[in-house]
Amino acid sequence: MTQRNTTYVVGHKNPDTDSICAAIAYAKLKQQLTGAPYEARRAGHINEETQYVLQKFGVEPPKYLGDVRTQVRDMEIRRLPGASAEMSLKKAWEEMREAGVVTLCVTKDEHLSGVLTTGDIVQTYMDVYDADVLSTAQTSYRNIVETLEGELLTGEIEDTLTEGKVVIATASPEMMENLIEQGDVVILGNRYETQLCAIEMNAGCLIVCEGAKVASTIQHQAKEHNCKIITTPHDTFTVARLIYQSMPVRYFMNQENVVSFHLDDAIDDIVQVMAQQRHRYFPVLDEEDRYVGMISRRNLLGARKKQVILVDHNEKNQAVNGIEAAEILEIIDHHRLGTIATSQPVFFRNQPLGSTSTIISLMYEEHQIPIDPTTAGLLAAAILSDTLMYRSPTCTAVDKEIAEKLAKIAGINTEEFAREMFRAGSNLGSKSANEIIHQDFKKFSVEELTIGIGQINSMSGEELSQILKKVQPKLKETCKADGLDMLFFMMTDIVKERSDVIFAGDKAESILQNAFLKDPNAKGVVRLPGVVSRKKQLLPNIVDAIQQ
């Protein structure tokens, strides 16, 4: 049975509490409804407010998802086990033929040591003429016995051949005395005299062909001279041909400049590299450089796009990187329609409510799926956060009704919990200006202009004054670094229900003036009483001012 791919449920970059909690709750709902794997992810750093909420209800933060382009992990990977460097060429050839591949990855302790191809094996037959290559390659006697389908009569099978050449004993014993040297591997038949002569010349190993029996006196002499004896059912010609296949693959494998890829490598980045290489297969490694398997150019064709569900946004520049290469299955949001384009129809639910989590709570009710206390706590926190404890003009009667119902399930008092949550989120003393600006930050595209709007909510006017002093000097620098035409930063006083707005970028001041008919004060701040919502109050007015 084919395993279903995981679908990622993810909010926007610079995620707020609604974005994170909506992703967690919706992934859980989808999994309960379908039985398929859905996983909540985050596209950015979790702020202090959201951290407080997750810790309060004992929920692990979603894992980071930085890019949804198709990756090597989305390809069909040949999960062939890594070969030992001591494996014989014969066994390597057999494994490649059985698997239908022309490449074998050699590993040690799960890490890649080298790569052997059928071309490397063929080369050993065409280019290797040295009779002493077995000892040069330090071939193990175990490999020789297995390759010749033989039996070791004397000596230790775990020993390694470290000296000597391969000799075929076809001449008379007198002639053999001039050919055999210490440590040689001698291929011979059942002639007693030749066997004895080879032992007395201090041969390292006798290979007795055609299954001939070896006399006990020869075995005794071999033991005394520390000479191994191997019997094999093959004839002399076959043994001479096979014995070179017993050499270990490490002697022939390519260890330098091996081209490999990692599971997280984007396919866009590896296509050109693959095209420039003559190899058909390439090793794949995980994040700890452990060998996973192999891929070929052919596997590129079957690569599966990542499947994602977007929550709490539908703007391309707010979405996780590489969204254009992913397959978007659904969008659940409560913002204005943005710039996300899909290649096929998707399930799109967009309602003018104060929080995406309100929509997801309604979906639980519609599907008659009970909400557990932990999920209820997350959803309630998200609604309280996005509606500024019901003070935002985006808040509806539905939001408040749902939040109070969820709070009862979670066992929390909405007023007390909201104050604790906002207090945790406004503890920004140790953060840099750049971190504060981007804590709750969104980009928007309006009339070919790119606009950034950041927002900080606090219940302390004194803290907001400190934030102003820290952030204002860095605003122009941030606007330029982010490639924005305009940047607006809202400092929202939850208790007084107003926002102080500072700005950077060409025409940002005039746009803000036209949008609210207010001039900046001596500190360069535009104070907007009653304005607490970026989505429903600040952005629409700015869009109207730009379009006029």
The confidence score (pLDDT) of residue 2 equals: 37
Domain 138-246 belongs to what architecture? 3-Layer(aba) Sandwich (3.40)
- In single-letter form, the type of residue at position 254 comes to N
The confidence score (pLDDT) of residue 128 equals: 65
Domain spanning 7-70+306-425 has what CATH number? 3.90.1640.10
The confidence score (pLDDT) of residue 492 equals: 93
List the one residue out of 495, 497, 489 whose CA is nearest residue 526. Answer: 489
The confidence score (pLDDT) of residue 277 equals: 81
Burial environment of residue 527 by CB neighbours within 10 A (0 to 12, 13 to 18, 19 or more): middle
The confidence score (pLDDT) of residue 129 equals: 65
The confidence score (pLDDT) of residue 1 equals: 33
DSSP assignment string, 391-410: TSTT--HHHHHHHHHHHHHH
Angle at 95 between CA 94 and CA 97, to 5 degrees: 65
So where are the chain's domains?
A: 7-70+306-425, 73-124+251-302, 138-246, 433-547
The confidence score (pLDDT) of residue 171 equals: 67
Contact 181, 165 (CB under 8 A): yes
Instruction: Give the pairing type, strands 449-458 and 307-311.
Output: unpaired
The confidence score (pLDDT) of residue 3 equals: 46
Domain range 433-547, its CATH number among 3.40.50.2300, 1.10.150.20, 3.10.310.20, 3.40.50.720: 3.10.310.20
For the four alpha carbons of 166, 170, 173 and 177, in that order, the dihedral sign comes to negative
The confidence score (pLDDT) of residue 412 equals: 96
For the four alpha carbons of 192, 193, 194 and 198, in that order, the dihedral sign comes to positive
Contact 332, 355 (CB under 8 A): no
* Topology of the domain comprising 73-124+251-302: CBS-domain (3.10.580)
pLDDT beneath 50: ranges in the chain: 1-3
